[in-house]
Structure formats: C-alpha cells, structure tokens
Structure 1
Amino acid sequence: MATKLESPPLASKDERTAAPVLNRWPLLAVSAGVTALLLALSGRYGYHVDELYNRVSGQHLAWGLVDQPPLVSLIAWIQTTLLRDTLTAFRVVPALLAGVVVWVAGLIARELGGRGGAQVFAAAATGSTVVTLNAGHVLTTNIPDLVAWVTLGWLVIRLLRTRDARLWLAIGVVTGVGLLAKNLIVLLLLSVLVGVLALGPRDVLRSRHLWIGAALAALIAAPAVVWQVTHGWPAVEMSEALSTALGSDSRVAFLPFQLLMIGLFLAPVWIAGLVALLRRAEWREYRSIGFAYLFMVVLLIAIGGKPEYPGGLQVVLLAAGSVVVAQWARTTVKRSLAGVALVGNVLLSAVLMLPVLPITVYGSNPVLEQLGVFQHDQSGWPQLAQQVAAVPLSPEERARAVIYANHYGTAGALDRYGPENGLPRVYSGHNSFADFGVPTDDKTVVIAVGVNRETFGALFARCEPRGTYVNDLPVADRGAEFLVCSGPREPWAQMWTKLRWIGFSCPYTSEVVTAKSEKGCWSE
C-alpha cells in the first residue's frame, strides 16, 4: 500500500547544534569593502564585450535570449534607466552582488561551526578570489549566477544541519531566480542531489516541502522556459556551438584551471575544505557537498564543459576550508602565513581581474598579455567607433548607409559610441542581436565590420575594403576589415536569414564557429 510522503519532524532546539554567534559587523565591513573597491575601479578601461551586448539587450527586453535567460538584460535596463547610461552606473549592481557573495561565504563558515575569525576569513578570502572579482567587476550572467550558487550552498548546508524542511522553499525560490540568470544552476542541483543520494542524509529528500520548492522554482523560471520552447530551444544550439569551440582544450586545462579560479595562494584552503567535508567525523552530514564537487568535475571533464563552471561551488569549499584554517592558525606564525596567503591572493586576483594597472602594461608584458584577455576585452571600443566613423563615404552613400557588425560585441560597441561619432544604426546577425532589428530596404549601403569578405560580399553587387581596425593593444578585433558594400541582391528580410548565426566569432580571421561548424575557432 502506498504511503503518504510527509515532512520529517523539525528537530528540537536541544537536538540541533546551534550555530556560533554571527560576527555581523566585521562581516559587513568586509562585504562593504569589496563592494567599495569594485565601485572605485568600475570606471576604468571600458565596457566588457559581453556588457556591450547586455546593454543593448536591455533596450529589447524579452523573456529570453538565444544565449542566456532574461535577468541580466533586465538588470541592464534598470541600471541605465535609473542611474544613467554610464560605465560606472552599469556596474553598480555587480559590485553590490559581489558584496552579497562575500557575506554569504561568512554565513557558510558559521553553519559549519566557524566562529568570528573563521567567518571573517571566509568572507575576506572569498572577496580575494578570481571568481568573485571577475563576476563582480562587470555585468554579465556570472554575477547573479555566482550569488545563486553560493546562496544555495549555504541553504543546503543549513538544511543538512537543522533538518528544517521549510528551507526547501527558499532553495526553490533561489533556484528559480538563478534559472532566470543562467541555466548552469541545474548542474549544481544535479551534483548535490547525487551527493545526497550517494552519501546521505537521504531523509532530507522525504519532504513535501521539497516538492513545493521545486514547484516554486518551476513557476519562477516558467516564462524563460516557455520562451525557449516557442523559439525552438536555441539554448541547445548555443550549447553545441560552445562545445565545438572548446574542443578538447577544456579537458586538458580543466584540473589546472581549478587552482586558478580561487587563486593560487588560497588553493590549499579550498582543497582543505574539500578534504574536511569528506573526512571529518563532525561534518559527516555535509559529505554530500564535497562529493558534489567531485562528481561535477568528473561530469564536466566527460562532456567537455568549461573549467570555470564549478567556481561557485569552490567558493563554498573555500568557506569550509576557512573554518579549518581558523582552527589550525593557533600560533602567531600560522596566523601570519594565513594572512600572507590572503594578501597574496587578493593582489594576484586584482592584477588578473581588475583594472589596477595601466592597460598598456597588459599589452607590453608577454606574460600579462596572455593572462590579460579579460582586460583586453574591456579596451579599444571607442577607438573602434572612431575608426569606423572615418571610413570614407560619399554623401549619397552616407544617406543610405547602415552598419553590420560581425559579432555582438562589435555591434554593442558601435551602438554605444556610434551616435557621438555620427554613425548610422548598427545591426548584427549574431545570437539575439539578430532580433534587435533588420535594416529597411531603402538602406542599400553597408559598412561591414569584421565579416568574411567572400561570404558577406556575395550578398551584394559591389563590395570593397576601406580600412582595418588598428590598435596597439592585442584586442580581439584588431585587424578587423572594414568593407563598404552596396546593391543588396535580395530584400533585407530575405537576406537576414543568411546573416543570422549562433555561436562564436573568430575575430582574427573573420571565420565563424557555429553549432554546425566542422572545426573550432582556433583550429588549423
């Protein structure tokens, strides 16, 4: 006879181990300090390539995009509407959310029995990581996704400690909001579920609150899912394109990259947290969290996923390791070593992720040139717009001209800086930028930036080069060709189906990687 699923009774206060006192004000100081640092540096360099896309997507709000759910576009719209359309204003929310990540890391340490020092160290360590500074500096899907992952880690650990089944409702809400930012959070849920099934405690799964939480997550995420269904699941094609672009490189780099996501100086801390979660007798209830990370790593290596995907779960392990470090650092020498590691990590992470050095340093130093891709992706956009504006056009051509950009970053840059340089409207067929508008048929002249001359030129009666993008820095679009094409062979609406594409551009060669490509972007 079938039995009715019921929530396990809540543990009494005497049956539960009370968490240590929250070290509220020091935690708040660390969180505010990270936010203040990010805001202070937010106006340096320029927009990141993905920010330029998100800025334009905020002007075309929908329940989904080809390459991401709608939350970041909504954040972009709110910021530019309330705080003006400036670089610093565009980065307020990421900086605030980074402070939230730092705060929650302290809460995780507290749930695991960490007292004041452990909580503060967990917060400071989290604020010094590559993953936090990367996500908190720019407005991309990474920052709300990181908040969701770390918050879920805290809620699950609290659920395992207290057995308070009502926490499934909060987990459901966070999951739903996370799905509106990035679909990747499903990977975390799957890994934690496998961990709990493998190592327990399985009784937390026998609760009606679990199903209510799942319903809440589904309800919150439903509009984005419906959008995907009604648009033919473009996320699947995007995932295939990503896998094609990465090739086998991601598998080779996966394990070494795990050391970089937190930072080399604090790698021993999160690794200690992983080991302690799996081996400490007093943390037996939390073994599933450590197992979840191992399962996730094996799964991602098997399917060729990006090595930065487990970064949010590594922050949870870092918080656990901070408790271990606080218990270990009983002497002045050990506390000094922990402090040196923390300072070294923040300095290294800042150099890699924040605009703390002159941008020319990243272009002139051979080592930093390779490590500074994130910095270079924030550089050169105003210069690009100025050089496109200098493309020679006759008055007749200019009156009938539009701009077509190879990828969404170039298109977003020309949308942002084009008006002040007198440029016409910019279009692109890349990802959801293709849905932001199609030229009208009276626009018979196109300034094409970074396209393949042979394939793009075949769509027009005449096509000739009129310059290239010149920049002293090794930015991705350096050397992109400017073509002036005229006489479209078909109406724009028909031609647009040939110009739409989902995937990743190869800016140096003007090649394209899509889900149907036979070779990756960097293949010979």
Structure 2
Amino acid sequence: MQVVVLLVLAPRYGPHRDELYFVSAGQRLAWGYPDQPPLVALLARVSTEIAAYDLVVLRLWSILAMAALVLLAVEFARLLGGGRAAQLMTAVLVAVGVMTMTLGHWLVTATFDTLAWTAILVLVAHALTATGWRRSAAFWLAAGVVAGVGLENKHAVAFLLGGIVVGIALAPATRRVLLTPWPWLAGLTALALWLPNLLWQAAHGWPVLDLSGDIREEYGGFGGRAGYVVQLLILLSPVITPVWAVGLVALLRRPAWARVRPVGFAFVVVATFFLVAGGKGYYLAGLLPPLVAAGAVVVAERAPAIRWLSVRWLTVAMVLLTIPAWPINLPVLPAATYTSSFYAAAGDDQAATIGWPEYVAQVQAVIDGLPAEQRRTAVVFTTNYGQAGALEWYGVGVPVHSGHNGWRFWEQPPADASPVVLVGFERPDGFFRGCREMTRLRNRAGAENEEARAPVHVCEKASVPWSRLWHYDA
C-alpha cells in the first residue's frame, strides 16, 4: 500500500529544488560534489537516461528504498523475537511515518542515508547475535559494504559507525567483539569504498567542511538545538514517538536483548553528538525504524495482559492520527489548497516543489525579448541551484550557470559574457553593470517559496570576476 500511494503521488506538483540539483549533477558525473558524494547524482543520471525529466522514474529509487526500509524494520522485530503482531505493527508504523513517506516521495540524499543506517544496524545486530564465526563474519562484511555505499551517498554514516563502536564497547555482552578482526575489516571495507570520494574532497580543498561549518552556525545555537529535539520527536509522528521511546528503553534494559544493546547505545551516542555539535533531527532518521521494531515487540507482548488494549486497533489509531500530517511534505492536496492552508506554515520543503514551469516560462519570456544578436551570446546566472536546475530541466535555450554549491565546479560563464540574465539578485549593481529589472517571478498557486517575487534582471556584463559570485549554502 505504501508503494502504491507513493507512486500515485510521485507526479504531483513538481520536482523539489534538491532534485533539480541532483539531476544537474547527474549530467556532470564526478566522484564528489562540495555538499555530497556521488550516489544520488548517479541515480538521477540513470533515471534521466531511462526517461528524461520524468518524476515517476526519478523518484522510483526512493519508493523502493522506503519499501526496503520497512522490510528491514520487520526483520529487526523478528530478530528480537517479535511475532506476527509485532512485525505487522512495525511494518505499518514505519511505512506510514511522515518521515518515511516524505523520503519515499523525493530523490534526496536523506532517503538513502536513512536506508543505509537502518541496514547497517540490522546487519550489525545479526553479526552480534550470530552463532558461529563464519556467519558473524559474513554479516560484519556485509555491514561494511553497505556502510561504504552509504558513505558514497552521505558522510554522516561515519558518525553512525562511531556510535556503533562506542555502543559495542559500552555493552558488557558485546565488548569482546572488538577484539576480533571482523568489525575492523568491515570498517576497512567501508573506507575502501569511500576512498574515491575522499580523494575528490581532498583534491578540491575539502569543501564539505565549509558547508558543515554553515550548518553548525545555523543550527548550533539554543534555538537550533531546541528545533533539533522537536524535529526528532515528531519525525515519524508524535503518536509513534512513544513506541520507539519504549523500544529504546527496552533495548537498554532487557537482559534478553543484551547482545543487541549496542543499537540502543548507538542512538544515545549519535543523538547526543548532534545535539552538542549542532545538527538536524532528520539526521537520526535511520536509527528510528529499529527502535520502532523494539517498541512494537514490547507493546505486542504487553497487550494481552491489558484487557482493553489490542495491537491491531492501537496500530489503526496511530495510523489515523499520522496520516493527517502527510500534506506537510506530500502533494495530497491541490497546490492552491495547500498554499492557503496551515500546512504551508509547517515547513517550506513542499513549497519548493511548486511553480517551476511558470518561473521558467517567465525567464524564457525575458530571454525571448532580447534582440536576436543578444540571444546568441546571452547567459543566465542564478542565485541558487534550484533555479539553475529548473532552467536546465525545462530548458531555456541559453547556457545556465550559478554560484551555488556544486555549480561552483562546473562551467563558468565567459569572462566577457553579455548580456547576463540574472535570476534572484535583489541588488545586482555591486556585481554587474547596466542592469534593468524586467519582471518578478510569480506562481498561480500562491506558494511562498524562495523564488516567489524573485527579480529577473538583464545586465550588460559582470563587473567583478565570476569567482566572487560563488558561495556555499546548506
């Protein structure tokens, strides 16, 4: 059912600004980009080769990833001894979670980061509970391969691996595992698979560190830390949070689960690290499915002892209370209805998928209004990668450039490019000369996104080197 719903929703509204960026990156494949490793760009490239600029094909990877996430959560419940009721509860709650549905709708790095974290935790749990060194070694090496692929999607996997090592050391039942070679061979396997991206980062001056600094600055204060906690608590759904909280406590306390206790410790360690260092709540998304599974096992065990409690009806109630939150990030409502509702105030990611064809048409009209000889030499320069990606996705017939993140390492405009169509610059006179504002972008749905009311200028040429216009932004 989850897959069906996501397939139905996939073509609604439009691409997310991050998806537009990944598609552009996929047309310029490399072993890395300043803000991400190459995996999602590669998936975007495969999708565009199959069906160019088709949202369903583009997002199919994410739909399959979240279906796999559900299966992994169920496997963890089974590993803990959960029966059919616990496994069904796990599957349903993980599948309908707001986070899961959102990540299944967009092709973004967080989707595959979440899948990689959960897969690593399940494989490590199998390795810690396996009988016989051959089975244990196989699970460790499988975890290393998944971690290596995950690191080629997002560097945050390294923090999970550190949390797992600390968790194993903290649990008396498992700390001797660190004296065996298998966890370390798994780590070396992951490092070997990560190496191409590390070499790319080193060759380009470690731009990921600059971006990480921006994130710490934005989310490191008291307000950022409070938002981190709140986001974590509502990530799946406020009504599902008690289930994974119960699961966390059980993982840390149940004697029968002593050998999988590092999973609980890993959550505590990594959650604390990001709280102190400054991070976003969704960084922990991949830790939650195993905790939900553990909580579902506890609830299923206790339900028969409480006369009025039924696992089936409790699960149904949580689903019914979770689905109303879907429109925050999912295109369930008509676009105009969404933008005029309270859902639009709950987050800005959904708004970032609305209006792109209109925006591109308005920029195209400015380009078409240029004299023929100017159209032959014109270039477009945008303030962010979403705008640049949209102009490539829908096409405007002239070269498109931007100074945002990965676009910094791609084609720069000629030093004497003229005229320059600027998108999103409120005050371009400090960087360009002879500028005239031609229009301001608008969308019929009334979405308040970064592009709404952004100015479009036509300038004679840049008055500073293009390198002055390049920037990183989280």
> Same fold by TM-score, threshold 0.5 exceeded?
yes
Partner Cα distance (1:69, 1:268) in 2: 34
Equivalent residue letter for 1:425: P
**Aligned-partner SS, 1:329:** helix
Name which of 434, 459, 471 aligns with 1:462. Answer: 434
Correspondence for 1:285 among 246, 249, 259: 259
Is residue 135 from structure 1 mapped to residue 103 from structure 2 by the alignment? Answer: yes
What residue is the counterpart of 1:520 in the other structure? none
| One of 178, 184, 188 as aligned partner of 1:211 | 184
1:210 & 1:353 partners in 2: Cα distance? 38
Q: What amino acid is aligned across from residue 337 of structure 2 in structure 1?
A: V
What pairs up with 1:293-442 in 2 under 5 angstroms?
A: 293-330=267-304, 333-365=309-341, 367-391=342-366, 392-419=369-396, 423-441=397-415
Partners of 1:395 and 1:299 in 2: CA distance: 57
Does structure 2 retain, via aligned residues, the 8 Å contact 1:148–1:178? yes
SS of the equivalent of 2:282 reads: coil
Match of 1:42 in 2: 10
Distance in 2, Cα, partners of 1:231 & 1:53: 19
Distance 1:70 1:386, change over 3 A: same
Q: In the alignment, which residue of structure 2 is the partner of 1:20?
A: none
Matched, 1:66 2:34: yes
2: CA distance, partners of 1:149 / 1:426 = 36
Aligned-partner Cα distance in 2 for 1:487–1:133: 45
Q: Which stretch shifts more, 432-441 or 166-175? A: 432-441
Deviation for aligned residue 1:498: 1.0
Q: Residues 474 and 460 from structure 1, CA distance in 2 versus in 1: closer, same or farther, beyond 3 angstroms?
A: closer
The answer for the alignment partner of 1:55 in structure 2 is 23
**TM superposition score normalised by structure 1:** 0.85
- Contact 2:32/2:38, CA 8 A, preserved across alignment: yes
Q: Find out whether 1:182 has 2:172 as its counterpart.
A: no
Instruction: Indicate if the aligned counterparts of 1:400 and 1:442 stay in contact, CA closer than 8 A.
Output: no
Separation in 2 of the partners of 1:215 and 1:302? 28
Deviation readout 1:251-286 (Å, 9 max, x if unpaired): 122222222111112111111101111122211222
Superposition deviation, residue 69 in structure 1: 0.2
Shift of 1:441: 4.9
Q: Is the 8 A contact 1:411 1:428 kept in 2?
A: yes
Question: Does the CA contact (< 8 Å) of 2:145 and 2:186 recur in 1?
Answer: yes
Q: Does the 8 Å CA contact 2:171/2:258 hold for their aligned counterparts?
A: no
CA contact (8 A) 1:429 1:501 kept: yes
8 Å Cα contact 1:148/1:175 also seen in 2: yes
Residue deviations 1:304-337, cap 9 Å, x none? 1112211110121111111112212325642354
- C-alpha displacement at 1:442, in angstroms? 6.0
Structure-2 separation of matches of 1:207 and 1:339: 41
Q: Distance in 2 between matches of 1:265 and 1:380?
A: 33
Deviation at 1:208, TM superposition (A): 1.7
SS at match of 2:127: helix
SS at match of 1:448: strand
CA deviation vs aligned residue, 1:192-240 (integer Å, no higher than 9, x gap): 2112212231122121222321221111111111111111111101101
Q: Report the Cα offset of residue 407 of structure 1.
A: 0.5
User: What's the TM-score, normalizing by structure 2?
Assistant: 0.93
1:132-168 CA distance string (max 9 Å, x none): 1121111110111111111011111112222523321
The answer on 1:498 being equivalent to 2:468 is: yes
Secondary structure (helix, strand or coil) at the match of 2:422 reads strand
Structure 2 spans left out of the alignment, 5+ residues = none
Whole-Å Cα distance in 2 between the matches of residues 202 and 487 of structure 1? 64
Give the structure 2 partner of residue 192 of structure 1.
164
1:57-206, aligned counterparts within 5 Å?
57-162=25-130, 164-200=136-172, 201-206=174-179
How big is the shift at 1:488? 3.4
CA RMSD of superposed structures (Å): 1.8
Instruction: Check conservation: 2:73, 2:91, Cα contact below 8 A.
Output: yes
Structure 2 CA distance for aligned equivalents of residues 487 and 41 of structure 1: 43
Structure 2 equivalent of residue 222 of structure 1:
195
Note the alpha carbon deviations across 1:382-430, whole angstroms, 9 max, x for none: 11101112224333432321110100011101111234xxx42210011
Aligned length: 462
- Residues of 2 paired with 1:307 and 1:260: CA distance? 9
Q: Deviations over 1:17-65 (max 9, x none)?
A: xxxxxxxxxxxxxxxx322221121000100110000011000000000
Contact 2:215/2:278 (<8 A) preserved:
no
Aligned partners of 2:146 and 2:87: how far apart in 1?
23
Quote the offset at 1:119 in angstroms. 1.5
Offset, 1:82 = 1.9
TM-fit CA distance, 1:443: 3.1
Alpha-carbon distance between aligned partners in 1 of 2:468 and 2:426, rounded to the nearest angstrom: 13
Q: Secondary structure at the match of 2:460?
A: strand
- SS at 2:421's partner residue? strand
1:241 match: 214
| Amino acid of the structure 2 residue aligned with 1:457 | D
CA distance in 1, matches of 2:262, 2:184: 20
2:458 is aligned with 1:488: no
| Fraction of identical pairs, as percent | 36
Whole-angstrom distance in 2 between the partners of 1:349 and 1:114:
28
Following superposition, the deviation at residue 350 of structure 1 comes to: 2.4
| C-alpha distance in structure 2 between counterparts of 1:438 and 1:299, whole Å | 38
**Matched residue of 1:264: which SS?**
coil
